[in-house]
Structure 1
């Protein structure tokens, strides 16, 4: 019987590689699933297709449109969960493990889709604030972020075949950069199933996503400095990639997220009668057994106060003994298998190295009690707990990682000592400290921060809602220094910027307004014959501007605002002795000046397309306003943002940012702000 081949999706077509390929096995029962090969694929053509087809298609869309695309894709994938779960069981994952991989990955799409509200309606975006470069304001600078014109090549690990793909493509797609996904062969059949659903949906434009299901071949030798390579996997392979001459010589960006020796710390303050004690036991057990320990963030080193070592050992071994292992399709099973027999072989080799200086206090290296499964056919192992009583003088626990359900318990004698121990891993993705003492948490976090990419402080107040030690979150960076690879991925806008090129631009404010589609301070406005508030969203132009009439500020105004607001700060009172203060006499409230400014620029006499005031950003008061001063406002349309409907019946609208400059009768700035309004669209 001919073995089914896992296919590659390249250059717009599903293609099987040449030759017999590498056989892929069901991790639970050893059945052959298929074979994978990339032999015969033209890697240069694959990358060029992404650059020439995928890139232009994505760059033709705005950030907002790309965000809606991600959201639509996430919704579509949620409608196909059952076949994903059915296939995921073959990787040895339980329902809970698969949930993290599949629905956690889809959650990444939703989270990154939400960034569209912060990135605007262009295919590019501004980065930071404008920079004045001349005294008069006639010359300025800014930074622009534009999508790179290359391809993102994602080399993913075998442990999360769905999450590993979706967490990466969510970021490059919203940035406007196409990608080639290269999953690890051992579980690539699950990645292929998800990609088929993605491609069949038609939600992504042509060339945005390609799949290479197998060995990468010479694909890296066809990259350029405009491409981005990301890697998730072992520190050893990450080091190998760093030495790739082509990547180095062609200045190709490389982001590495490598497996690391993450640690969890029990605070000195925690005693068996405190809720944090059980939180610690539960979290350690979960981190050892979830995904059968095959997580880059899994806890490999457990540090506890020396005087609590015996009690923790007793409770941890009891908790681990309750773990049921076997066929993940059996509802009573809590831990499945490793991803394959080869992974089991490597895992046992590494555990043997750890046992050179540590003792096994729970579990077995060679045998495992199973439910509804055969230990000879499936890649099952026992969860193991090791003990090392001299961690400061032992090499192995801080340098050897066994990628599976094993961790080493170690004592410490002081907070300074455990900070030192945490750093002996030479760079980790994450660490956790379980403590109810804020001082302990502060000292540990600040002391250990430089060697970790993320630190979780866990106590009884947040435990119920905490995502846990091993859960990277899409809006926080995921990565770490040193052994962990030195890279960052995800992290909200930080992650998106990996795929954007930053360019400094200089010119007049008027010219840069035209270039950026965002009004720049001191730029020329467009004089409006009709009030901007009478225009629909589509009708408004960036730079639409009015200059208001003047209003005289009186002592009575200030007194009445003080009474109305309850703000009787001394500087707003007439009878204050102002000697030794910053003011010469009674001064107007800043918020009164802003309110009076609104009274000048708001067109309030009849219903208009402005639905409501949405907020105020960057409000600054730059000069005191005394009674007898006349103020006026220059009011300019700064930026327009799309606003999604939550319900079909909602009013179709957008968000408009207005640049508000308040002047006194000497034409000096007394205040500046950006206000936001919801503005109705004309076409319903």
Structure 2
């Protein structure tokens, strides 16, 4: 009996629904599973996420959420082989599946590590404080808090695992639950991963729900506290973005659409150069990985006119080595498209393109397959050969810049100068990514500055970076993934920027003391507290935000300056030669800024052994007024912020990082230096 995929909603697995749809093996045409496509109560599903999952995630700190993602990544990594076995049914080879499975798990790991960029709090303070008054009693600070809604992810069929994991990693770190709606053709893979996620018990209830069938009506119930992301065709994305509910509620909507990405061969990258070889190999890789079903794949290869034939021949030789067939058969380099429907759409669009830009490599009608003993069938499966088209008049035949076939296809086209190459690349009307193969810095600068407005990412390829480059088609969790125009105008991932998409920014105004109390980050001018006990003798838990220590004073002498110059080797004329100051900013021999900071440290440090383990570093430092011999300086040391650290293992010391505001003033009470230093401080509770 053919299994029916289940949805995970309202805290339980169900296969409720009507009108089942068959999901087919991409290589053999065999029915894998059924997915029900109707009968969902989306209002109830979204409400469950907001009511049950959201409060639990919002209360967790960034560090707790990050550790949750890390645990989830390890769990899924231990189960990955079962995902590989299932992934072959989608037509993906082992290498293709690696991108989807381990690329997705890698996103969990990357976002788990990102927790260290955030405080151990449910919210974070963004940017620098803004002073709003002369007297310093009125100020502002931006604050980021998790939204109270649900992240709704509508994903494409080409990456059923990565497409889900790269999105939920970000919204979960931000503190929002998710409802995932994968495309039906490969939903069996998404369901398998979600089943493992739920079974692990790592996520709080309501943090993740899955709808494997139709999403018709899902957006009818979103609110302004929700966030919607979409990955798929530009046409579908535009319809969703114009949904009345999205418009009425002003729901944040992120769209990542298939785009006509380009790769450009620089005029210096002649045959025989590393850049030429890398360019051709990159095109072959992007055509054949996932059978070309990547939103970042190269669709247009823009080549100097005098090298067009060289590229065509070199690319043809590489593609001739690309064996096609069942993804589990020995020697297969490229599997099948996701299904018969996708294959027919691909052929239809290629035939349309071929009306004015002929096929110069490959065939739509015949193909030698490997793995027929495993059931590979050209008639029942979704196989195709790689296709290369030639557009010798790219400014006349515009279909190359407008029609996305979404498969193993690329169009070669010539250009005559860098300006023309920029124009052709930009004719895609907005792309996720563009590559430029060149070793000429001027060519690189001219092209990038001309094409940057039309692309979300630009990769400059040369021999220097080849061994470590992740390649044209690899979005990285540390970087924004998205692009303007046709690419959707959205963004996904991107480190802190990606997390912010699922949070609300509020401009917080008030007195320094009040904003300090709210944010738990000391603001200059806020109320301070002082105790008899030196703060360096206090454990991490005992220190209070705003706790201040005032040092004794010290009068700077010429001997101090000379001694520091001798020790440091800094003999800059302003410090050692009073006869060279004419025409400078200084009225006399001036103390080194780093002497002032070093002396300040000597004044505020308690020499006794205590909970302070070490000096962890310096975040900010400014020298705001010259210090001359005879100037008397004093120091205030204030607890600015506390960030707990995780224990690496049971033998590690429980500790945290304390950020201290160091303010050095002179006898007139004017600030001469200000810095933020960090110390590692032991916790009293070592459990």
TM-score range (shorter-chain normalised) is over 0.9
Distance 1:353 1:671 in 2: 69
After TM superposition, the structure 1 = structure 2 runs for residues 330-409 of structure 1, keeping only pairs within 5 Å, are: 330-372=329-371, 373-409=376-412
The aligned counterpart of 1:655 is 657
Distance 2:38 2:241 in 1: 24
Of 170-179 and 14-23, the range deviating more from structure 2: 14-23
Of 509-518 and 372-381, the range deviating more from structure 2: 372-381
The aligned counterpart of 2:668 is 666
Measured against aligned partners, the alpha-carbon deviations of 1:566-588 in whole angstroms (never above 9, x if no partner) come to 11111101433322100010111
Distance 1:660 1:564 in 2: 23
The aligned counterpart of 2:34 is 35
Gaps of 5+ in 2: none
Measured against aligned partners, the alpha-carbon deviations of 1:437-491 in whole angstroms (never above 9, x if no partner) come to 1110111001000000000001000011000000001011111111000111111
Cα pair 2:21 2:37 within 8 Å, conserved: no
Distance 1:337 1:646 in 2: 44
Distance 2:622 2:383 in 1: 63
Distance 1:513 1:260 in 2: 46
The aligned counterpart of 2:134 is 135
- Please tell me whether residue 445 in structure 1 is matched to residue 444 in structure 2: no
Secondary structure at 1:576 match in 2? helix
Secondary structure at 1:164 match in 2? helix
Q: By how many angstroms is 1:17 displaced?
A: 2.3
Cα pair 1:574 1:585 within 8 Å, conserved: no
Distance 2:284 2:661 in 1: 54
- Please tell me whether residue 77 in structure 1 is matched to residue 80 in structure 2: no
Q: By how many angstroms is 1:331 displaced?
A: 3.3
Distance 1:8 1:281 in 2: 43
Distance 1:648 1:220 in 2: 47
Number of aligned positions between the proteins: 682
The aligned counterpart of 1:520 is 523
Distance 2:18 2:255 in 1: 31
Candidates 499, 506, 510, aligned match of 1:507: 510
The aligned counterpart of 1:560 is 563
The aligned counterpart of 1:167 is 166
After TM superposition, the structure 1 = structure 2 runs for residues 118-133 of structure 1, keeping only pairs within 5 Å, are: 118-133=117-132
Q: By how many angstroms is 1:71 displaced?
A: 1.1
Cα pair 1:17 1:36 within 8 Å, conserved: no
Cα pair 1:159 1:294 within 8 Å, conserved: yes
Q: By how many angstroms is 1:367 displaced?
A: 1.5
Cα pair 1:20 1:35 within 8 Å, conserved: no
Distance 1:558 1:433 in 2: 53
The aligned counterpart of 1:422 is 425
The aligned counterpart of 1:146 is 145
The aligned counterpart of 1:198 is 197
The aligned counterpart of 1:583 is 586
The aligned counterpart of 1:489 is 492
Cα pair 1:17 1:38 within 8 Å, conserved: no
Q: By how many angstroms is 1:38 displaced?
A: 4.2
The aligned counterpart of 1:621 is 623
Measured against aligned partners, the alpha-carbon deviations of 1:200-226 in whole angstroms (never above 9, x if no partner) come to 111111111111112102110000111
Secondary structure at 1:674 match in 2? strand
Distance 1:368 1:672 in 2: 71
After TM superposition, the structure 1 = structure 2 runs for residues 174-185 of structure 1, keeping only pairs within 5 Å, are: 174-185=173-184
Cα pair 1:543 1:637 within 8 Å, conserved: yes
Q: Could you state the TM-score of these two structures normalised by the residue count of structure 2?
A: 0.98
The aligned counterpart of 2:475 is 472
Secondary structure at 2:432 match in 1? strand
The aligned counterpart of 1:248 is 247
Distance 2:450 2:250 in 1: 34
Cα pair 1:547 1:633 within 8 Å, conserved: yes
Q: By how many angstroms is 1:310 displaced?
A: 0.9
- Please tell me whether residue 540 in structure 1 is matched to residue 543 in structure 2: yes
Distance 2:182 2:663 in 1: 53
The aligned counterpart of 1:49 is 48
Of 646-655 and 163-172, the range deviating more from structure 2: 646-655
Q: By how many angstroms is 1:106 displaced?
A: 0.9
- Please tell me whether residue 594 in structure 1 is matched to residue 597 in structure 2: yes
Q: By how many angstroms is 1:20 displaced?
A: 4.5
Measured against aligned partners, the alpha-carbon deviations of 1:329-386 in whole angstroms (never above 9, x if no partner) come to 1231110000101110111111111111101111101111110122122211111111
Distance 1:111 1:414 in 2: 40
Distance 2:402 2:38 in 1: 36
Cα pair 1:64 1:642 within 8 Å, conserved: no
Secondary structure at 1:527 match in 2? coil
The aligned counterpart of 1:105 is 104
Measured against aligned partners, the alpha-carbon deviations of 1:144-176 in whole angstroms (never above 9, x if no partner) come to 111110110000000001110011001100100
Distance 1:578 1:243 in 2: 67
Secondary structure at 1:193 match in 2? helix
The aligned counterpart of 1:435 is 438
Q: Could you state the TM-score of these two structures normalised by the residue count of structure 1?
A: 0.99
Cα pair 1:429 1:452 within 8 Å, conserved: yes
Q: By how many angstroms is 1:64 displaced?
A: 1.2
Distance 2:157 2:303 in 1: 32
- Please tell me whether residue 273 in structure 1 is matched to residue 272 in structure 2: yes
The aligned counterpart of 1:286 is 285
Q: By how many angstroms is 1:19 displaced?
A: 2.5
The aligned counterpart of 1:636 is 638
Cα pair 1:128 1:143 within 8 Å, conserved: yes
Distance 1:340 1:299 in 2: 21
- Please tell me whether residue 86 in structure 1 is matched to residue 88 in structure 2: no
Cα pair 2:359 2:387 within 8 Å, conserved: yes
Distance 2:626 2:149 in 1: 52
Distance 2:532 2:196 in 1: 53
Cα pair 2:184 2:213 within 8 Å, conserved: yes
Secondary structure at 1:5 match in 2? coil
